[in-house]
Structure 1
Amino acid sequence: MKRALIVAPQWIGDAVMTEPLLRRLAARGEQLTVGALPWVAPVYRAMPQVADVIEFPFAHGGLQWRERWRMASQIRGRFDVSYICPNSLKSALLPFLAGIPTRVGYVGEARFGLLTQRLKNPAKGQRPPMVAFYSALSGETDVAADRPQLQLAAQEVDAALRALNLTRLGYHVFAPGAEYGDAKRWPAAHFAALAEQLDLPVVLLGSGKEATLCAAIADPVNVQRPGHCINLAGKTTLVQALGVISACKSTVSNDSGLMHVAAGFGVAQVAIFGSSSPLHTPPLNALAKVVWLKSDADYQPPLMCAPCFQRVCPLGHTRCLNDVLPSRVRALLA
């Protein structure tokens, strides 16, 4: 059996989108160990095909030679092949230093000599679907139809719901954050207006950095409907957040990591895209509904500036998100 080390991306959404790659590798008999940063590792523990997860002790930024040498010495001789998902130089260093014989990745960031099997990056300006981009590392063709799949043990889900006083299918989840920037975030006032229209309670999920954003949604709603919005931003572990999403009635989110988590669990969801594109990072889920004014025939005149892929709207109006009305999203949740 071929022993494989997967070097994982550093973002939750990208981690979810690597699942079809791992499923392909496992199906052909490879034993999978994933090396991931701690805040991403729980996603890989929700993939049954992963035999083990190694949490990398690396901080964000910098090569951190000493830590990489130490980790390389610990894993030397354990693996036959490594699939390197990120395109960075530092992500390819560990498999090289560990002497893993076969190292597969995309050419990029002066790491040509660190890889033994190299895939060409898309042409400049092209943004292919990311699931297919990762799945191609398997060397197999016909990867476009893959859909990420996540799975949590029932006892993990039940434990999360008990700890947070929630019941299965008894709430909606809003994930109003987006790490990349404001041009990917539907306005807080729109989220609040939507929450007021829903019969079931709304659970707000996000990181500690998004607690203020979630409070701006929850607080005005709770004035009119006490306890209707439950702000859990920064108050859950990632495992708990996964459990909450897996057992919800539906989710509403921006193009974010938690959007891909909801897709991986196959829950009903509405995903709102602004500066980014659902052609590049769609929620691959049969129950997903996407709102993107760029391709909306009912939105006139057409929004020609999207997708700009900018953190902040370069035109100053962010119409791609501001013009998506709460009533439109509410209709999609029906």
Structure 2
Amino acid sequence: MPEARHMSLGDEPRILVVGPSWVGDMVMAQSLFKTLKARQPSSRIAVVAPAWSRPILERMDEVDEVVSLSVGHGQFGLATRRQLARSLQGRFDHAIVLPRSWKSALVPFLARIPRRTGFTGEQRLWLLNDRRRLDKTVLDQTVKRFVALGLPAEAAANGDIPIPQPRLRLDTENLVERRVELGLSSRPAIGMMPGAEYGPAKQWPLAYFRELARSLVVEGFEVRVLGGPKDREAGEEIADALPHTHNLCGRTRLADAVDLLGDCRQVVTNDSGLMHVAAAVGTRVQALYGSSSPAYTPPLTENAEVHYLALDCSPCFQRTCPLGHTNCLKQLMPERVLQAMLANGD
């Protein structure tokens, strides 16, 4: 992607989107950006987002500028937000605030952006002037809520909202360099993402990932275990002493993960941010759901198979299993996933 282009006062309309703070949500936000561009092809879109998200946003054709907000997760950072707001004054006609927190609506307000759209919540009524009421029974998916904020209120009233699928651009030169650097082979690759930032109730047992990896190697595949530094030990538990199995957790940047996932035949993943990245690069997704629901945060692709047992206690949306057994994932056996992958013909 070329360097971010700064918007001039002559560009119309000029839209500032305050983005979410999670990888998966940022990928899903592309459905909003696509909707905005489809409705107003001449629009210029800037996204206020944490610095870590720049590699994702730079792979989206619809994003014209990334504005980094250097505030740690959970921090208020009033001085930083004020400084950023001053730099944005006079540059935008419309702001769309995706998070529902009070602090997320502060920058557009301080920047005096004329129209400020968002869902009501956290006593931020006075920060927004295009306020929307969130009916969770109508807007029953995260991505629907994002897209709805880019539509007139009446157009989203019944929840029948077209959802453009996210699509991240790949960098083939970076992929070639990373494959050489990481010592990857010419075998067809399978990605595995054992992490889930939300908590262990969303994480398939590592022993199951390892058993599946062993079977896939026998079938002629290379296995790439992907994740952040926090997932390094989990990756080692899966890959230890297995041939053609690479623990890449903590060894790649987010931009590298985009390209390495795009190079995989299929991925096996918990409901996580990297699941949404894999879906957005077009790779076949085998999605594993435990405490969360595929109805609420599905992979936004037709090239996916969802594995969900729908037990009586599911979905609980808890970080840890309130019943202490996590049967929603422990009873989801590796053989089922392997059969689904081999039946796909890759």
Task: Output aligned runs, 1:90-105, within 5 Å.
Answer: 90-105=103-118
Native 8 Å contact 2:47 2:65 kept in 1? yes
**What SS does structure 1 have at the residue aligned with 2:246?**
strand
Task: Output aligned runs, 1:148-163, within 5 Å.
Answer: 148-163=166-181
Provide TM-score, normalisation by structure 2: 0.89
Task: Output aligned runs, 1:63-212, within 5 Å.
Answer: 63-123=76-136, 128-140=140-152, 141=155, 142-166=160-184, 170-198=188-216, 199-212=220-233
* Cα deviation 1:111-153 (Å, max 9, x = unaligned): 1111111111235x88711111110011153424432222224
1:120 partner amino acid: R
Q: Does 1:312 align with 2:323?
A: no
Cα distance in 1 for residues equivalent to 2:185 and 2:17: 35
Give the share of equivalent positions with the same residue, in percent.
41
Superposed CA RMSD in Å reads 1.7
**Number of residues paired by the alignment?**
320
Flag structure 2 segments of 5+ consecutive residues without an equivalent: 1-11
1:253 matched residue in structure 2: 269
Provide TM-score, normalisation by structure 1: 0.92
Cα distance in 2 for residues equivalent to 1:270 and 1:236: 22
Native 8 Å contact 1:127 1:280 kept in 2? no
1:3 partner amino acid: R
Q: Is the deviation greater in 146-155 or in 303-312?
A: 146-155
Shift in CA distance, 211/143, structure 1 to aligned 2, threshold 3 Å: same
Matching residue within 21, 27, 31 for 2:44: 31
Shift in CA distance, 119/159, structure 1 to aligned 2, threshold 3 Å: farther
2:9 matched residue in structure 1: none
1:212 partner amino acid: E
Cα distance in 1 for residues equivalent to 2:186 and 2:67: 31
Native 8 Å contact 2:117 2:149 kept in 1? yes
Cα distance in 2 for residues equivalent to 1:128 and 1:9: 18
Q: Which runs of 4+ in 1 moved over 6 A?
A: none
2:36 partner amino acid: L
* Cα deviation 1:169-218 (Å, max 9, x = unaligned): 73111000000111000000000000000121111111101111111111
Q: Is the deviation greater in 139-148 or in 242-251?
A: 139-148
2:257 matched residue in structure 1: 241
Shift in CA distance, 33/197, structure 1 to aligned 2, threshold 3 Å: same
1:215 matched residue in structure 2: 236
1:46 matched residue in structure 2: 59
